Structure 1
């Protein structure tokens, strides 16, 4: 049945990926020149002192990965009849989310090393949404395992 608690957690994973796609992931201000960098799921943009975009680079792979994670979470919601497949999809989703966090981290680290910046910048709400999605995915898997254990115990009684 779709109205189980793990379905709510999987929906929250998909919603968090929507937040990741729509919000900023990282922001860095260079104190010396007044320039700033903002990373979203689609672009890395460089701004000058007045706030105008100087440079815009595509980071489509972050958006593609976040979209795929959200899509996989939606598919997993409708796999309630096959709990084994649902758990497998969630495990793959967990690995993809770890890859997404690593991709964001490596991208921001690469930018900082190019700039020679003293601080690492600030991770914004889009980045933290990925971490919240990881927690929701873990909780969904826990409740799926709980359901599976309940079904097996009922089968033993019969």
Structure 2
């Protein structure tokens, strides 16, 4: 039901995690050798020389992407469960766990890549690293308003 504020919050959390799947998390480049490294939620892209092309390393970098995809699915399923608030609360709690794990793994692997790849050059963290933080805030707000609705319904049942 789109009239409820928690639906909007869940939609924003789902869209943030959907963008997280394609957004760069971390980037580093060497101007002298034209080598660039880009970490996304699904792979680490390495370009040693422009004529060689890009090499993508998927494992273990694909794990935050899988967690992000599961989070997107959980957000959109929770939107459809507006009649069953208790199940919606359970799903948003699971979604917070998925988002937090994806955020933690992304931050860990980006700091590991910062230390391991081209150690003398400073890399840049991109907006993809901050999208799960935005998603977890909106997911928590949605859970709060779902609990508030549940308390309201229970208080009305007591009055009957």
With normalisation by structure 1, the TM-score equals: 0.87
Query: Which structure 1 residue ranges, 5 or more long, are not aligned?
Result: none
Task: Find the counterpart in structure 2 of residue 131 from structure 1.
Answer: 133
The 3 A distance-change label for structure 1 pair 130 and 3 is same
Q: Is the 8 A contact 2:13 2:136 kept in 1?
A: yes
Aligned positions, number: 158
Matched, 1:17 2:34: no
TM-score by length of 2: 0.86
2:156 alignment counterpart: 154
Q: RMSD of the TM alignment (CA)?
A: 2.2
Q: Deviations over 1:60-99 (max 9, x none)?
A: 2222111110001111111111111111111111011111
Q: Aligned partners of 1:24, 1:112: CA distance in 2, in Å?
A: 14
| Further displaced range: 142-151 or 115-124 | 115-124
Q: Is the 8 A contact 1:17 1:130 kept in 2?
A: yes
Question: Partners in 1 of 2:147 and 2:52 — Cα distance?
Answer: 51
Q: 1:5-24: per-residue Cα shift (whole Å, max 9, x none)?
A: 10111111111111111221
Is the aligned partner of 1:88 residue 2:76? no
